[in-house]
Structure formats: structure tokens, C-alpha cells
Amino acid sequence: MYRIHPPNRSRAPLEPSRRPRYVARMQTVVIPLAISADQWLPYYRGQVKSVRATALDGRRVQFPARVLQKYVTPDGVLGVFRVRFDAHNRFVDIELLGGPKGPGGRLA
């Protein structure tokens, strides 16, 4: 947790190399998804707006269902995805790491 302190005017300012750096970092999670075509219908119809999933490291995440639209196949949404969130835990982007391969939808 970051604390904001009032400036201490009695001391000289810190040199640039010694100033504390507060860098907002992006969160990245890897998520395997297997949503069948039948399960995808409520998303397609707009009845469901977000997807909740468990990442490989155990974290639970939620992101907009619309971002998966380009990955929908006749079998549904199958694959392993990298999802990035900003420092405020807002969705940034999604990337397919591995998807269905051949009949049976085995993951690559």
C-alpha cells in the first residue's frame, strides 16, 4: 500500500536517482477456457456480459465476454488465453496462446 506524506521542507530534495519510484504494473494471467457452443449462447444473446474464470495460478478473474467474440468457433471458445489488466484491475487485452487443434478440440 502506498502512503502519501506531506513534503518535509526541512530537508533538501532527494537526488533523482534516490527518489522512490512508484510504477503501476500490469497484471497478467493465463486462463484456460473451454466454453461449448451451447454454453456460449447466453453470451452471444447478450444475456451475460462478463466471463469469470480461474487462472492457472489460482486467481479468479472477470472480464467482458465481448472480447472473446473473435475466438468463437462452431465448437465454442476453446483455448489458453493471456489476459492483461491495468493497475486498476481493468481489462486491457487478451491474446490466444494455444487453441483447438484438429478434431476433438485438443489444446495445442
Contacts of 63 (CB under 8 A, 6+ apart): 50, 51, 83, 85, 91, 94
Q: What is the pLDDT of residue 19?
A: 54
In words, the CATH class of domain 24-103 is: mainly beta
What average pLDDT does the segment 84-93 reach?
88
pLDDT tens, position by position, 44-70: 888 989 999 999 999 898 989 999 988
What dihedral do alpha carbons 57, 49, 69, 89 form, nearest 10°? -40
Look up the pTM and report it: 0.67
Contacts of 105 (CB under 8 A, 6+ apart): 34, 75, 78
Nearest alpha-carbon partner for 34 in 103, 99, 91:
99
Contacts of 29 (CB under 8 A, 6+ apart): 55, 56, 57, 59, 61, 82, 83, 85
10: amino acid identity, one letter: S
Q: Is pLDDT above 70 for 89?
A: yes
- Band (pLDDT 50/70/90 cuts) for residue 25 is confident
Task: Break the chain into its structural domains and give their ranges.
Answer: 24-103
Percent of the chain scored above 70 by pLDDT?
A: 69
What dihedral do alpha carbons 67, 71, 72, 74 form, nearest 10°? 180
**Are the C-beta atoms of 81 and 94 separated by less than 8 Å?**
yes
